[in-house]
Amino acid sequence: MGDKIPVSAQDSTAELLTPLDLGSRPNGEAEVRLAGRHHRRGGRCWYRLSVLEKILLLVVVLLLLGCTALLLNLALVLSRERSMLERALSAGSVSKSSAVNSKPNSNSDPSPEPERCLTPTCLRVASRVLDRMDLTAEPCTDFYQYACGRYVRTHAVPSDAFSSSSLQQMQEQMLVDIKSKDPATDLELTNDCKDPATDLELTNDCLMSLPLRAPGKDPATDLELTNDCKDPATDLELTRAVVGVELARLGGWPLIDPDWEADRFNLTDLITRLHSVKVYSLLEVHVNSDSRDTSTYIMQLFKGSPLIEEDYLLNKTDAHARRNLAAYRQLLKDTLAVLADPSSDTDQQAKEMIDFEIEFAKLLGQTSCEDSSVLLNTTDSDVQLAEQSRLTLHELTELTPYFDWSAMLQNFLSVNNISHDMQIVAVDCKPFVQAVSKFVNSSPKRVVANYLVWRFMFKNIRFMGQQLHEIWQDFRKQVPNLYEERVYSVRWKGCAELVEKGLGNVLSYMYIQHYDKHGIKAKLDMMGQKIAYPNSVLNITALNEELADLHFDDQHLLNNVLRLRNHEVLQDLQKLLRPVDKDSLANFANVGVVIGHELTHGFDNHGRRHNWGGNVTNWWSEKLLTDFTRRAMCIVKQYSKYKLDVVGKNVDGNKTVGENMCDGSGLKQAFNAWRMYRQGHPKEPSLPGLNMTDEKLFFVFYGQIWCEVVSREGWEKYAVDPHSPGRYRVSGVLQNSRQFAETFNCPVGSPMNPLEKCDVWT
């Protein structure tokens, strides 16, 4: 039969065939075709599949059908959203605004359809504004809620900060730029560490090569302080060795040095070395312009402060204070556990040292000084205070017979190679200088040495390797410092901040170089002002000279931090050798409200004491001073009513009066300047999705500067801060603004338009 197989003779495979597999010949004999071989002619293999294969095939089919349905649904949703966005853009509103627009004081304005800006930047700005606003709030009742309500509702305080704010977001972006070398800021150097525009070396040692990179990385491609900054050293022996060298330079730390001898203790040398790395002792030494002659610099002595809040040391009834003091004691104990010999007994010395700090805190509270910020001080008393604070070195020695501060200051200059015939110093609070000198003289040398060296340790623990860094982080999470550094939850942020603070001029130079510096300079010259940066930033020769003595190594982060701080101290002391360069100061930012705010500081409760040259003098009439005081007291009373509910306190109206009056004046001047500018320029396209006038949008922008959410520690800070909380920097200022009330048509007597308004400078 050849290829013919009788049906009767088919083998067991025939049961797998379907009727379609059966063919016929003209002679009537049946023919069987193999299904696989004739598949394209319509044969099916379903019955040849196993049960598992059939199940998998059905699952695939169902998944394909499901994906198709999802894609169709997604396309429908996107189509609807696109249609809604197009309607919003064309109508100049968003979905929620219709309810607001029906209100008498609404955000809408029936006017001809304006030209709208639809560039990516405008869309981002409009989105950011809407994302922060609460369009259900009434602007004449609570403008802060109206401008920032959604921001407050959708943001939380991060673990490494006291607050989350719109300003903080900009600061965070700066740290990201430093870390990632954002192309917009050009935070990098060329491969040979030369500036591409000037082809000059930034420093002889190529500043960015060692301190700002990890080993093995190109210096032009990273901004880090050394590998142990991103990845802290875990070698405890290395940490002990490096810390031991630094402690030896200070004369040793009795708590961990059994060979320390009181007879060899040199207090003058210890304080000098501490101040050389910006670790202040019981007094602080700074170089500032002379208040009597602001063309020259003078050395100044100020009251010091404990390492933690005075209240934590002195308040024995408050549970919060007791808990923080216990955490402080634990920090000292944990530090000693890492560095001290395990067999040594340090408990008694540690107790005596903290008792010494408690007495120091008491001394601060018991010593009264003239407060130059009191509003009712006359201009005559201002001049008298400035004159009385100036002492010759001989007078300073007579003032403090228990400790020779004049010898310490001269030694301070000598150690840092500053040759200056210093004759006059300014002492901020003479009674305290006398009292603290007597206090130190009457205390055991071992206790004084332990405490002063502990101040060095306290400021630098986080740079002393992984183990001590973690101890420091745990402490700072329990006891946040309201005035000093943040404890970043990620290491790179702390490193980036260290670069920004220590090498600010370098970063400024690199930033400016991204732009056409010659074009910027020409424009600023035309404006007749030196705004945004000092001329020295673009002077590569001066920058090289400034950094010539700054060298780094890759042994340990602590070494580089101390060298950076000593460099900052040297720069400060060298000001004594030159006159004040007033023209080089970066006076103003490029934001109108900030410019107005800063300008008003020249006429606030502090600035009014200084004439046009910055010198303390009697230049106001008694009538003007009386009127100023009356107006300022109005602001004091207004802000003193604002509550800090979380901590059960109120804003300190006296402490914040200067900043508050500058906020109000700054907003007024910025608004007037903007309206004057608009008179001579064509109207700019409006932002999409915001159906409000430019005037209303101006105040929304102002309000959103201060959007924030605050932790309990943040509210504690506001209780003693010279700045008011963001909510009151908005509502307090706008309640006094007639321009705001007119713009939003707020009824007289409404919360945002009270009958009584405070206005210092009209």
Q: Give residue 237's pLDDT.
A: 80
Residues 275, 157 share a domain: no
Contact 738, 757 (CB under 8 A): yes
> What's residue 307's pLDDT?
92
Same domain flag for 494 and 622: no
More confident residue, 25 or 433: 433
pLDDT tens digits, 324-360: 999 999 999 999 999 988 878 889 999 999 999 999 9
- 690 and 616 in a single domain? The answer is yes
Residue 615 lies in a domain: yes
Using an 8 Å Cβ cutoff, are 103 and 137 in contact?
Answer: no
Specify the higher pLDDT residue, 539 or 455: 455
User: Is the residue at 570 inside a domain?
Assistant: yes
CATH number for 656: 3.40.390.10
> Has residue 63 been placed in a domain?
no
Q: Are residues 361 and 300 in the same domain?
A: yes
201 within domain boundaries? no
pLDDT at position 405: 74
258-263, Cβ contacts within 8 angstroms, sequence gap of 24 or more: 258/341, 258/344, 260/446, 260/449, 262/444, 262/445, 262/446
User: Is residue 179 helix, strand or coil?
Assistant: helix
Mark whether 237 and 162 lie in a shared domain.
no
Structure tokens at 394: 């001989």
Q: Which residues lie across from 298 on neighbouring strands? A: 288
pLDDT band for 630, please (50, 70, 90 cuts): confident
Give the pLDDT confidence score for residue 512 in this predicted structure.
62
Query: What mean pLDDT comes out for the span 285-304?
Result: 79
- Shared domain for 738 and 710, answered yes or no, is yes
Mean pLDDT value across residues 297-309? 87
Please say if the pLDDT value at position 272 is more than 90.
no
- Domain assignment present for residue 378? The answer is yes
Q: Is 303 helix (H, G, I), strand (E, B) or coil?
A: strand
Q: Which residues contact 37 (CB under 8 A, 6 or more apart)?
A: none
Rounded Cα gap, residues 32 and 42, in angstroms? 15
User: What does residue 298 show for φ and ψ, rounded to 5 degrees?
Assistant: -145, 150
* Band of pLDDT at residue 383, cut at 50, 70 and 90: low
Instruction: Report residue 395's pLDDT band, with 50, 70 and 90 as the boundaries.
Output: confident
Cα(397)–Cα(407) distance, integer angstroms: 8
Look up residue 231 and give its two tokens.
Answer: 């990845």
Q: What is the pLDDT of residues 18-73, one digit of tens each?
A: 333 334 444 444 343 433 444 444 445 666 777 777 777 777 777 777 777 777 76
Tell whether the model's pLDDT for residue 81 goes beyond 60.
Answer: no
Assess whether 574 and 603 both reside in one domain. no
pLDDT value at position 483?
57
β-bridge mates for residue 283, sequence order = 303
Q: How high is the pLDDT of residue 235?
A: 63
CATH of the domain at 286: 1.10.1380.10
- Domain membership flag for residue 510: no
Give 480 or 351, the one with higher predicted confidence: 351
Closest CA to 95 of 107, 87, 106, 103: 87
Going by pLDDT thresholds of 50, 70 and 90, the confidence category of residue 385 is: low
Task: Decide which of 444 and 501 is more confident.
Answer: 444
* Mean pLDDT to the nearest integer, 679-683: 76
Same domain, 318 and 419: yes
Query: Which pLDDT tens digit goes with each residue over 710-720?
Result: 988 888 888 88
156 in the same domain as 38: no
pLDDT of residue 482: 59
Identify the pLDDT of residue 56.
77
Say whether both 35 and 146 belong to one domain. Answer: no
Residues 623 and 739 in one domain: yes
The residue-averaged pLDDT of 378-389 equals 60
Domain boundary among 568, 584, 600: 584
Number of structural domains the chain divides into: 3
Of 92, 233, 147, residue with least CA distance to 558: 233
**pLDDT, averaged across the chain:** 72
Please report the pLDDT score of residue 594 as a whole number: 52
For residue 228, pLDDT beyond 70: no
Q: What is the pLDDT of residue 71?
A: 73
Q: Which domain holds residue 397?
A: 228-502+549-584
Are 278 and 565 in contact by the 8 Å Cβ rule? The answer is yes
CA distance 586 to 530: 7
